[in-house]
Chain A
Amino acid sequence: MKVEQIVEATLFASQTPLTLEEISRADDGLDVERVVEAIQLLRDAYEEAERAFQIYQLGDGFQILTRPEYAPYLERFDSVPRAPHLSPAALETLAIIAYRKPIGRIEIEEVRGVSASSVLRTLLDWELVQVVGRGEGLGRPLLYGVTQKFLEHFGMKDVSDLPAADELPVVLGELQQAMEGERSNPLAAETVDSAGESS
Chain B
Amino acid sequence: MNSIASSQDMNQGSEPFQVSLERFEGPLDLLLHLIRSQDIDIFDIPIARITEQFVSALSDGLETMPIERAGEFLEMASSLVRIKAQLLLPRPEQPDWDEDPRAELVRRLLEYEHFQDVVHVLEGAEAQRGRHFAKGFVESRPAPTLAPVELELTLAEFLAAAARIPEPLPPVEFRPPSQTVTVAEKVSLLRRLLAKAKRVSFDRLFRPWGTRAHAIAALLAALELARQQVLRIEQVKPFASIWLLPGERKRAGDPPEATESAEGIA
Q: Do A and B bind each other?
A: yes
A32 touches B (CB below 8 Å)? no
A138 touches B (CB below 8 Å)? no
B115 touches A (CB below 8 Å)? yes
| Residue count of chain A within 8 Å CB distance of chain B | 68
Q: Which residue of B lies closest to A65 (CB)?
A: B132
Choose one: B98, B111, B126; the contact of A154 (CB below 8 Å): B126
B123–A91 CB distance below 8 A: yes
B25–A168 CB distance below 8 A: no
Encode contact with A along B81-100: 1 for CB under 8 Å, 0 otherwise. 00000010000011111101
A85 touches B (CB below 8 Å)? yes
A175 touches B (CB below 8 Å)? yes
21 A-B interface contacts by CB (under 8 A): A15-B134, A15-B136, A68-B132, A71-B133, A80-B137, A81-B137, A91-B123, A92-B25, A92-B116, A111-B111, A111-B115, A114-B27, A114-B69, A153-B129, A168-B118, A169-B117, A175-B106, A187-B100, A188-B94, A197-B46, A198-B46
| Residue count of chain B within 8 Å CB distance of chain A | 60
In the assembly, what is the distance between CA of A105 and CA of B168, in Å? Answer: 56
A179–B98 CB distance below 8 A: yes
- Nearest-Cβ distance from residue B11 to partner chain A, whole angstroms: 13
A80–B129 CB distance below 8 A: no
Residues of B within 8 A of A174 (CB): 110
B239 touches A (CB below 8 Å)? no
7 closest pairs, A vs B, by CB?
A155-B129, A198-B48, A114-B26, A95-B118, A68-B131, A83-B130, A65-B132
* With A85-B126, A98-B118, A154-B126: A56-B132 Cβ-Cβ less than 8 Å: yes
A41 touches B (CB below 8 Å)? no
In the assembly, what is the distance between CA of A113 and CA of B75, in Å? Answer: 10
B157 touches A (CB below 8 Å)? no
B123–A67 CB distance below 8 A: no
Choose one: A77, A83, A188; the contact of B138 (CB below 8 Å): A77
A80–B133 CB distance below 8 A: yes
Q: Which residue of B lies closest to A70 (CB)?
A: B133
Choose one: B44, B49, B119; the contact of A91 (CB below 8 Å): B119
A170–B46 CB distance below 8 A: no
B158 touches A (CB below 8 Å)? no
Near B by CB (< 8 A), chain A positions 73-104 give 74, 77, 79-83, 85-86, 88-89, 91-92, 94-96, 98-99
B93–A170 CB distance below 8 A: no
Near A by CB (< 8 A), chain B positions 36-51 give 41, 43-49
Choose one: B52, B114, B144; the contact of A170 (CB below 8 Å): B114
